A and B are shown apart, each in its own frame.
Chain A
Amino acid sequence: MSPRTATATHRRGRKASAPPAPTATATTYREALREAHREAMRRDPRVFLMGEDVGRYGGAFAVSLGLLEEFGEDRVRDTPLSEAAFTGAGIGAAMRGMRPVVEIMTVNFSLLALDQVLNNAATLRHMSGGQLSVPLVIRMTTGAGRQLAAQHSHSLEGWYAHIPGLRVLAPATLEDARGMLWPALQDPDPVVIFEHGSLYNLSGHLPADPGPVDIERAAVRRSGTDVTLVAFGGTLGKALTAAESLAAQGISAEVVDLRVLRPLDDATILESVARTHRLVVVDEAWRTGSLAAEVSARVAEQAFFELDAHVERVGAVEVPVPYAQHLEEATLPQVPGIVEAARRAVGEDG
């Protein structure tokens, strides 16, 4: 097995940011998102934020805390409980030249706005023969793991990633939380950003003035030679922890953070598989018809002969996510399951 390249940051598991640079300041995922909004609203008067409780309350996850006071009610708009109407209003305002950021409290409630996202935002450019443009950013929290029970624990990134016409992002690091919003707002097409609920308190350091990040490519978060672990959003931390544990067992795992869920960056995944010849895809969603299924299919289609073992998937058990802690844990992908899958892939039982 080859030497390991895990950084100190990775060893701290959930602290997925770069090691502190001299000018770096301590921050959290939540604060990084807030700073991204602040920057966007300062730089571009067309940018405004709307959603349920984004203003007076400060955001259900406190992302927008203080922004109302700083930018006023026109630009930080508390909406009624009307997911379809305010998401559609974001679409209309975007078509008319504004750059709205619509916050939908969680992906679970986004189902009430799915009509607007699919039938309007994602569709209008093509259906109008290229006449209309919807430069809208929609942000929402996603995922399970906080004992919130089925109706507050869905992972539906794959549903959105299914839709042509959207760009779908899943920031899982401080850099991405800080850097994805601005390029998303520059995209003339609708962008959906998923923030996993377990990440808001992720802490680390960021440079005082970090530049934007790309919203095109997946990222190799840890290099390795024996097996590729593909993960994103809420499972990235678990994949990195699993890689650490595998390293202790002499197995060198490469961890690819998808970051961009649509359009998928096939090249980065395929390059990694060409190095490791083994693939484990980790996805908090139900396996059937999931992003893990899509990644597996693409590798099977495009790199079949690179594979030395069949693809392994680690996903959620196909039940509504239960409340009780032990049941929820059993439902979701966990580090030991990822480790086992990786061991199977490299032929070390598991």
Chain B
Amino acid sequence: MSKVNLNVKIGNLTLRNPIMLASGTVGYGNEISEFIDLKKIGAIVTKSISLKPRKGNKPQRIMETAAGMLNAIGLANVGIEKFIKEKIPFLKKHDVPIICNIAASTIEEYVECVSMLEHEDGIHAFEINVSCPNVKEGGLQFGNDIKMVGKITEKVRANTTKPIIIKLSPNVSYISDFAQAAKKEGADAVSAINTLVGTAFNIKTRKPKLYNITGGLSGPAIKPIALAKVFEIHRKVDIPIIGIGGIMNWQDAVEFMIAGSSAVQLGTVNFIDPTAAEKVLKGLTDYCNENNIEQVSSITGSYQLD
């Protein structure tokens, strides 16, 4: 019997525990459900959905780097209609809170997506991807532009009563300024971080290794950067933070919570160990019990600075 209360409140969103699966790293849950019991997970964040289906980038889409990976998937997704028809029913059956991640190339498109999904009761919140580095239009340009991030938040807020999480790009000078803009326009939370822009060349052919030339860096290699971004937001802005970046085990998850995260998302690790989420949850629970922590939320921002 665990004594700890694992519930976390993220703005208006209450989750049974702080362990979530990150967008783009578990598709729509079908495959990963063969490895973990989705009923145990705090929430699943869907692959970014766009209004229309997207084919995604040509290969090569991924490559391994030192303790990480680059990806340029290009937001390949089934589009919102198929998502509603086929993917939501599956996830509802598994009794896992769905956070729908939305990507778009115009503000109107974000609003249209949110409006189409507003009455889907399986969807507990929206995560607005303003920061995907792998598509030509939208994506990073939005994530780089404070005014746009504010505007997208404002418009989405005006069109939904569900909680909104703005997923921030780390490819900026001060991420806390972006968190501030999201907060000001009514976001319930921010998630940080999306991937960092990176590239690689083949030294024989001198060609880029990815078709898209650049990709997004993720995995253990980015953890220190992600932690610093979470910490920066936590110190400067009063908004719940969902920490993401290179989490491989429960110790990493605890570290993200200490740095200021209310919850965490597991990304790249799902590819290597699709059972990781359950292991992290167990490790976190044991850590709380061993340290007489009654509320997991009390770890959030508990860093000790002299």
Q: Do A and B come from one complex?
A: no
